[in-house]
Every structure is written in structure tokens, then in C-alpha cells.
């Protein structure tokens, strides 16, 4: 009997800490039922066709939990594969055990996929090993969020006498109860302790001091939930902290690239410690009519050069070949040239090696790489490109005497504003450190969304980073001088340049 319900622990919240097994099962789901604490980008891993159901904050009342359990069973009985996403681990201070037992009683096959517990991961990201030689022989987890809203039922006298580490995850009230319970029963107020808020996120804040200091901090007020660690191991933080030492930690970077192609930039930014705010101003859309593309594909052997100037163009042409039952062998005939950011890498993923890769996007550089005007004159050139804009490279090649065929293979569409992000407000309030642009089209779309006349004011206190001559020139036309322009037009070079700027 096939598994119908997967109880998946998603870890502390950041997408990269879900297990490989959890991600595979999520990607195969037909229904996704998730707590409101689960990161939105994890939910996006599910197929676009999957039904998504937000059940709000993790259930505190038995009646709420019962409703969720019935919902799981109902969707499973429809024969659908259900992914139940829960922050942390389903079986650690969570009600995943109740859901699993309910499914067992209903005869519904399920699988539990463990997740990284929040307390473990946030301590590690704060540079605090929960166990260490000489740090005590016990590690005690104390429930923070009490299921029934009552007092914690803990043998404080015995716990306070243990020479080891105590860790808890909860809100201000619950953590105060743990800290005060320990001190009232003999734990020294001078013992080392730490409080970690927004653990594993780029907004992580860590406060370390004595147990009495942590209590004072909690009494002053703490927003949201936090992880509290008490014990000698906290003293190792000064030597082992790594997450909040990364070069872009705490920096907020706006990514305007389409979601289809923002993955590499987001991953590299987050790897350097930045918070990558995805606010795409464009999306790639299929053509309404494929006649021009199909005609170009059918006559590929008549061309001397096939030049790709964008990743989107490479993707679209390959996908059209596949749709027509053909593969990369259909590209035999013309020489292949890749220009700009990522085109040659994308073609390589399809098993296609280009004859010429032009590192920059400057028109003159491309013409020279092809042999100069004398060699270009009379050549047959095919340029698969964007139906939504003009191709300045095609114009330059035609001026040099080439016979240029411009075949639209995709189109870009301006997206609506991202109201939940309030990009306009965040820029005005100086809450965004860097805005990135990887194409001229993205610059034009951004200006259309937020007002061409307002752009200079919006960027008055924000660093603008561009990659490639076209994007750089488009920003300058708006009266703004980009502060970061990498010499090499690639996404890794862009992130390196941002790191270098702040370092």
C-alpha cells in the first residue's frame, strides 16, 4: 500500500535545512498542508498544481488539532499524496505524534520524515555546541510552548542540580518560567546563558551573558519565540560563532530577477549571509505564436552563426526543440555563440558546447569576437531573442553587413507590484541595502512599476548593483550611477563585488 501522508519536519524555517528526503516527498505532493511558521519558499518546492492549505499557527488546542487530523485523513481518502509540513521535527515538542496516531487508527499509510529540531539548529548557528567535553554529561530539552497553556510540569529541584546544558524554545513567558524555575531551585544566576532570536535566519540576534542577564532581557520584552541555552557551553560562542560573522550578514539585498532565474543569485547572497528579498519585476512567458521560431529551427543549417544573448533564449529554444520531438542534434550546422550572463553555462546543461563564448555584453566586443566587420559582412546570423524588446546586437551586426534573422523565442511580461513586500516603502525607509539588476529590461520594468521620476529618490540612500553594460546603461538613463558594477558580467562576480563593497 503506497504512502499517502508524509509528516515532514522542515527544520528551523530556512529552506536549505529541510532534509533531502523531505524535499523529494514535498516535490511529489498533490496536497500541501502547512503551519503558518513554515517558510514560503519551502511551500514553493511543491508542484504548482498542488493544492495548498494553510492551517495557521501550530495547534495549541485539542479541538484545533483534531480538525487538522481530519483534514489530513479527508485528503488522503481522496487518493491524493499529502505533504504535512511542520516547523522543526514532527515528533519533538510538536503534535505530529497525535497526527500519526490518528492516521494509524484510520488505516491511512503515513511516513514520518524527521526535521532538524529548532533548538539544535539555532544553537549551532549561534556558535554554541549543546554538548562539549567538560560541559557536563547531560543535555535537557524543556518544553517552551506548553500544549495546554498550563504551567510547566518539571522537577526543577532535580533539573537544577544536573551539571549539564538546558535548552528550551518558546516565547517570553515560557522561557522566563524555565530560567526562573532553575534559579529558584539552586541554579547559579552567574551561570552562562544565551538567547537566540530568529535563529538560522539572516535577521538572527544572539544575546549572551549570565542567566540573570538573560532573565533581565526577557523581562524587558522579547518579540516572538526564541531559543534559550543555559550551561558552560555558552562560553564557547566567542570562539565558534560563524553565522553572524559572514561578510554580508544582516544586509538586505533586493533581487529583481525573474523567479525562474533568480536561484543562483539568491543562493550566493544567502551563502554570504545576506537576506535576499525576491521581488521580481519580470516574468518569462511563452509565445502566443511559434511560427517564427519553428521556421528558424527548420532552417538552422542555412545559418553561419546561432547567437544566444540570454539564458531565457537558450531555455526557450531547447524547450521548443523538445516539444517538437527533437534534441540538441538539431543545432548541428551553424557555429554557436553565447553572449553575456550564464548563456554558455545553461547550454552546457543541455549537453551543448558553444564554439564561442563572449564574456561581456558590449556590442563592439561581440562583433570583434566574431572576427570584426570584415568577417561579419555577408554571414547569415540567427538571433533567438525576446519578442518584447529590440535587439541592439542584431542592429549592430546588420550595420556591419551581416544578414540577420531575429526569431522571437520568448517574451517577458512586467509583473504586478509585490504588495506584501512593500518595496517602495522599504526603500523610502532605508531598509534595503542593495538593489540588483541583471538586465536592462528589469530596470525598465522597475521604473514602470514604481515611477521613473521617483527612482532617483528611492535610490538616494540605497546601493544599486548592476551586471552587464546593458543594465548599467539603463540605470544611468534614470539619473542614477550604479555603485557596484563587476568587471566580469556574471552572477558570482556580482555577489563578489557586493561583498567587496561592504568589506
Percentage of the chain exceeding pLDDT 90: 48
Q: Which residues pair with 305 in a beta bridge?
A: 335, 381
pLDDT at 40: 86
pLDDT at 453: 86
Q: Which residue has the higher pLDDT, 499 or 284?
A: 499
Are residues 357 and 390 located together in one domain of the fold? yes
Are residues 374 and 428 located together in one domain of the fold? no
Residues 134-175: tens digit of each pLDDT: 998 999 999 876 544 456 778 899 999 998 999 999 989 899
**Is a pLDDT exceeding 70 seen at residue 65?**
yes
Residue 292, in any domain of the structure: no
Alpha helices in 308-372 (DSSP H): 311-323, 343-349, 363-369
Collapsing DSSP states into helix, strand and coil, what is residue 84? strand
Strands 5-9 and 356-358: unpaired
39, 83 in Cβ contact below 8 A?
Answer: no
Are residues 67 and 175 located together in one domain of the fold? no
Number of structural domains (the chain) is: 4
Domain boundary (75, 96, 116) is at: 116
Residues 399-425: tens digit of each pLDDT: 888 888 888 888 888 887 677 778 989
The residue assigned the cell 546570423 is 381
**Is a pLDDT exceeding 50 seen at residue 324?**
yes
Domain of 349: which CATH number? 3.40.50.10090
Residue 287, in any domain of the structure: no
Are residues 146 and 93 located together in one domain of the fold? no
Are residues 97 and 126 located together in one domain of the fold? no
Are residues 91 and 126 located together in one domain of the fold? no
Sheet with 110-113, side-by-side order of all strands: 51-54, 31-34, 82-86, 5-9, 110-113
The answer to which of 110-119, 251-260, 267-276, 361-370 has the lowest mean pLDDT is: 361-370
Average predicted confidence (pLDDT) for the chain: 88
Residues 224-237, mean pLDDT to the nearest whole number: 95
385, 372 in Cβ contact below 8 A?
Answer: no
64, 42 in Cβ contact below 8 A?
Answer: no
Q: Which residue has the higher pLDDT, 363 or 501?
A: 501
Q: Structure pTM? A: 0.75
Q: What pLDDT band is residue 269 in, cutting at 50, 70 and 90?
A: very high
Closest CA to 184 of 227, 226, 155, 209: 155
Q: Which residue has the higher pLDDT, 121 or 364?
A: 121
- Provide the grid cell at 220: 524587558
Residues 28-58: tens digit of each pLDDT: 999 999 998 898 889 989 998 999 999 987 7
Are residues 157 and 195 located together in one domain of the fold? yes
Domain boundary (220, 243, 266) is at: 243
Element (H, E) at 176: helix 172-184
Are residues 123 and 239 located together in one domain of the fold? yes
pLDDT at 31: 96
**Is a pLDDT exceeding 90 seen at residue 108?**
yes
pLDDT at 145: 63
d(CA 244, CA 224): 20
d(CA 158, CA 162): 7
Residue 297, in any domain of the structure: no
| Other Cβ atoms within 10 Å of 403 Cβ, number | 14
Are residues 193 and 257 located together in one domain of the fold? no
| Other Cβ atoms within 10 Å of 146 Cβ, number | 17
pLDDT at 147: 42
**Is a pLDDT exceeding 70 seen at residue 391?**
no
| Other Cβ atoms within 10 Å of 479 Cβ, number | 11
Q: Which residues pair with 278 in a beta bridge?
A: 255
Q: What pLDDT band is residue 470 in, cutting at 50, 70 and 90?
A: confident
Strands 305-308 and 226-230: unpaired
252, 277 in Cβ contact below 8 A?
Answer: yes
Q: What pLDDT band is residue 286 in, cutting at 50, 70 and 90?
A: confident
Residue 175, in any domain of the structure: yes
pLDDT at 311: 78
Percentage of the chain exceeding pLDDT 70: 94
Residue 294, in any domain of the structure: no
Are residues 158 and 235 located together in one domain of the fold? yes
Residues 481-501: tens digit of each pLDDT: 999 999 877 888 899 999 999
Domain of 104: which CATH number? 3.40.1010.10
Are residues 93 and 179 located together in one domain of the fold? no
pLDDT at 180: 92
**Is a pLDDT exceeding 70 seen at residue 121?**
yes
Residue 293, in any domain of the structure: no
Residue 288, in any domain of the structure: no
Domain of 233: which CATH number? 3.30.950.10
Are residues 397 and 496 located together in one domain of the fold? no
**Is a pLDDT exceeding 80 seen at residue 363?**
no
Domain boundary (217, 243, 269) is at: 243
203, 275 in Cβ contact below 8 A?
Answer: yes
Q: Which residue has the higher pLDDT, 429 or 387?
A: 429
Residues 10-30, mean pLDDT to the nearest whole number: 93
Collapsing DSSP states into helix, strand and coil, what is residue 246? coil
pLDDT at 342: 67
Full residue range of the structural domain in which residue 486 is found: 252-281+415-502
Burial 231-256 (b: 16+ CB within 10 A, else e): bebbeebeeeeebeebebbebbbbbb
Residue 298, in any domain of the structure: no
Amino acid at each position: 500500500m503506497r504512502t499517502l501522508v508524509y509528516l515532514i519536519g522542515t527544520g528551523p524555517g530556512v529552506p536549505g535545512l529541510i532534509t533531502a528526503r523531505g524535499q523529494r516527498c514535498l516535490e511529489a505532493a498533490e496536497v500541501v498542508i502547512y503551519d503558518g511558521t513554515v517558510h514560503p519558499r519551502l511551500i514553493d518546492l511543491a508542484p504548482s498544481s498542488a493544492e495548498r492549505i494553510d492551517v495557521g499557527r501550530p495547534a495549541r488546542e485539542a479541538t484545533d488539532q483534531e480538525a487538522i487530523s481530519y483534514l489530513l485523513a479527508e485528503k488522503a481518502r481522496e487518493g491524493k499524496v499529502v505533504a504535512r509540513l511542520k516547523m522543526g521535527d514532527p515528533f519533538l515538542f510538536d503534535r505530529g505524534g497525535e497526527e500519526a496516531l490518528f492516521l494509524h487508527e484510520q488505516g491511512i499509510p503515513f511516513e514520518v520524515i524527521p526535521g532538524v529540531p529548532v533548538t539544535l539548529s539555532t544553537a549551532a548557528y549561534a556558535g554554541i555546541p549543546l554538548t562539549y567535553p567538560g560541559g557536563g554529561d547531560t543535555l535537557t530539552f524543556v518544553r517552551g510552548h506548553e500544549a495546554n497553556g498550563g504551567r510547566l510540569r518539571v522537577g526543577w529541584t532535580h533539573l537544577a542540580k544536573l551539571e549539564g546544558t538546558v535548552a528550551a524554545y518558546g516565547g517570553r513567558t515560557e522561557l522566563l518560567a524555565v530560567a526562573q524555575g532553575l534559579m529558584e531551585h539552586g541554579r547559579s544566576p552567574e551561570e552562562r546563558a544565551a538567547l537566540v532570536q530568529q535563529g538560522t535566519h539572516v535577521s538572527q540576534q544572539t544575546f549572551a551573558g549570565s542567566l540573570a542577564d538573560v532573565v533581565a532581557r526577557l523581562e524587558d520584552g522579547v518579540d516572538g519565540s526564541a531559543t534559550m541555552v543555559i550551561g558552560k557551553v555558552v562560553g564557547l560562542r566567542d570562539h565558534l560563532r560563524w553565522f553572524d560573522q559572514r561578510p554580508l550578514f544582516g544586509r538586505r539585498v533586493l533581487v529583481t530577477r525573474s523567479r525562474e532565474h533568480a536561484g543562483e543569485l539568491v543562493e550566493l547572497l544567502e551563502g554570504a549571509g545576506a537576506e535576499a528579498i525576491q521581488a521580481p519585476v519580470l516574468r518569462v512567458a511563452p509565445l502566443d505564436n511559434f511560427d517564427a521560431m519553428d521556421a528558424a529551427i527548420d532552417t538552422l543549417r542555412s545559418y553561419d552563426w546561432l547567437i544566444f544573448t540570454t539564458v531565457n533564449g537558450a531555455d526557450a529554444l531547447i524547450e521548443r526543440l523538445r516539444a517538437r520531438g527533437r534534441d540538441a542534434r538539431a543545432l548541428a550546422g551553424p557555429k554557436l555563440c553565447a553572449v553575456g550572463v550564464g548563456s554558455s553555462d545553461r547550454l552546457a546543461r543541455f549537453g551543448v558546447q558553444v564554439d564561442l563564448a563572449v564574456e561581456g555584453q558590449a556590442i563592439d566586443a561581440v562583433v570583434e569576437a566574431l572576427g570584426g566587420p570584415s568577417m561579419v559582412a555577408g554571414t547569415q546570423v540567427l538571433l533567438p531573442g525576446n519578442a518584447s524588446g529590440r535587439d541592439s546586437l542584431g542592429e549592430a551586426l546588420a550595420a556591419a553587413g551581416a544578414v540577420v534573422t531575429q526569431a522571437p523565442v520568448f517574451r517577458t511580461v512586467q509583473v504586478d507590484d509585490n504588495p506584501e513586500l512593500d518595496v517602495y516603502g522599504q526603500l523610502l525607509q532605508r531598509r534595503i541595502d542593495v538593489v540588483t539588476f541583471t538586465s536592462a529590461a528589469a530596470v525598465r520594468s522597475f521604473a514602470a512599476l514604481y515611477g521613473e521620476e521617483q527612482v532617483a529618490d528611492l535610490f538616494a540612500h540605497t546601493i544599486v548593483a548592476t551586471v552587464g553594460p546593458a543594465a548599467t546603461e539603463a540605470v544611468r538613463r534614470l539619473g542614477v550611477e550604479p555603485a557596484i558594477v563587476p568587471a566580469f558580467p556574471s552572477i558570482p562576480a556580482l555577489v563578489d563585488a557586493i561583498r567587496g563593497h561592504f568589506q
